[in-house]
Chain A
């Protein structure tokens, strides 16, 4: 079973920030938080990952709470092309501990004009 909980759907106005929450209250010390998204009929796309510090890349920012029990993915200026299902996944990321991704239901983000 997935170790994360996400709202099933969210709406966001185009040009505004989209903030997608994720709860992972049972996360272990050696587990990372990964975010993927899946645009309709395509394969999942890697977005970002982090351990405990906030992370930012060209696609998004990841804010992880100090107790690491929840996180928020931020798309700073959402566009219509960001409409997708967003998956938050917790997994051990050391190469020798790595392996399968366990996907939950994700959050279906609709960006509206």
Chain B
């Protein structure tokens, strides 16, 4: 089966610019997650979708970050305006169950550098 697809692979932007990332989960996986992984740290959950509904966005900086999953399949994560501290790898994952308790499948991530 195809894995979780993410694009772009790398992105360099200047601070205060906007950027968008795209994710296509494994077919049939209802649950989709966006994680932020800052260099040297573990991934931190930004937002979790169940189909096209948000389950948890408590750690999403809503003043600058937004995410949507309109048709319950692929998803986009946007940052506007970007700050230097947003430099990180943004990982998308999907799971077949609501809690990810059978494990996640991760994409390769988008490495964002804000200069």
- Are A and B subunits of one complex? no
B interface list, Cβ under 8 A from A: none
